[in-house]
Amino acid sequence: MSDKANVLLVGSGGVGTLAAYNLEVGGLASVTSVLRSNHDAVAQNGFTITSLDHGFVKGWKPSTIRNSIPEVDKEGIKPYDFIVVTTKNIADVSPTVAVLIAPAVTGGHTSIVLLQNGLNIEKPLIAAFPTNPVLSGVSLIGATETSPGVILHDDRDRLIIGAFTNHSIPLSVSTTAAKIFVEIYSASGKVSCTYEDNVGFVRWRKLVYNACYNSACAITHMDTSRMRILKYPIDDVVRPLMLEIVAIAKEAGYELPEGIVEDIIHCDPEDTYFKPSMQQDIEKGNFMEFENIVGEPLREAEKLGVPAPNLRMAYGLLRILQTNIKEAKGLLSFPTGADRTTHC
């Protein structure tokens, strides 16, 4: 590429910061990162990164940092070639991704890269920006922000990019954008970034882990290692959920590999006592991104006529837990009742 791609990155936590750093190290992108809670710390000291792929990095800053989404037209900013979204996809809490990034999108030019989990995440974006490519990014990485501006990266960066189907523009436009992004992201030589035509297959495969371990661990507050050591949480809860996801995927046209359930059950080292992201979120009182990870597969099951009683129960419990978080954060309130000293 002759010129650096102009990239806006939204969501500079662990995954987002590693993406921004890798893009700039490759030399084919200039990154503007939108920072929120960590803005002041990074503005003063930069990021401190301890990474399996990139080593120890101290004081690094993207080309530009901001604490709000750029308004491209109003500010006269050069259009962004790519907007990379790495925020959690909290579909039931405002603002949605489409509303959040709208001021930075240039119609017919900007490609939107969703490094987010779940199913059908592209639909609101395609509806909002019908002339823009919307790309799928399935990230297989372990990266957390341990304190503001301090990033621990302990599982290698593997990114699978593809193009979501957008019937308003030629498929070739979206696939070309996806392949250009793969080139830009791969340029560092430090990570694995591949192009995949079959976006749905990749997303359903990841849901075997995310929809099941995430749900079970968030609801029970038990990590994956304890579940495997005890065995009965796997037999009674996790495996039945995974088998339902595999069955729904098959009916949707995606035949997942034989043995995938047992492979995914044992994919984390048993001595790590790993807490999936939803469990971490609920323990911190943060919103969970369960609608696209659990709700959408359930809605697909209902549409296709696939029985999914375990997934339905998990979804119902997660909705209750999310409601509790909304109430704690003041987004919901209930009428105050009289004190009662007796119960039915």
Q: What is the pLDDT of residues 284-307, one digit of tens each?
A: 999 999 999 999 999 999 999 999
Cα–Cα distance for residue pair 154/269, rounded to 1 Å? 13
Q: What is the pLDDT of residue 65?
A: 97
Helix axes 277-284, 309-328, angle to 10 degrees: 30
Which superfamily is assigned to 5-197 in CATH? NAD(P)-binding Rossmann-like Domain (3.40.50.720)
The pLDDT value given to residue 116: 95
Percent of the chain past pLDDT 90, that is, above it, reads: 90
Q: Could you report the per-residue pLDDT of 102-136, keeping only the tens digit for each?
A: 999 999 999 999 999 999 999 999 999 999 999 99
Mean pLDDT, residues 249-255 taken together: 98
Give the Cβ contact number of residue 247 at 10 Å: 17
The answer to whether 144 and 14 have CB atoms below 8 angstroms apart is yes
At 211, which amino acid appears? A
pLDDT of residue 340 exceeding 70: no
The candidate with the shortest Cα–Cα distance to 151, out of 244, 222, 58, is 58
Residue 249 pLDDT exceeds 60 = yes
- 45 vs 38, 48, 60, 143, 146, CA distance in Å? 11, 8, 8, 20, 15
User: 78-100 in b/e burial notation, b at 16+ Cβ within 10 A?
Assistant: eebbbbbbbbbbbbbbeebbbeb
The pLDDT mean for the chain works out to: 95
Which helix (H) or strand (E) is 199 found in, with range?
helix 199-210
Domain boundaries, the chain: 5-197, 202-328
Q: Do the domains spanning 5-197 and 202-328 agree at the CATH topology level? A: no
CATH of 202-328, one of 3.40.1830.10, 3.40.50.1100, 1.10.1040.10, 3.30.43.10: 1.10.1040.10
**Cα–Cα dist 255/258, whole Å:** 9
pLDDT of 269 over the 60 cut: yes
Overall average pLDDT of the 187-205 stretch: 96
Please report how the helices 213-220 and 309-328 are oriented relative to each other, as an axis angle in degrees rounded to 10.
50
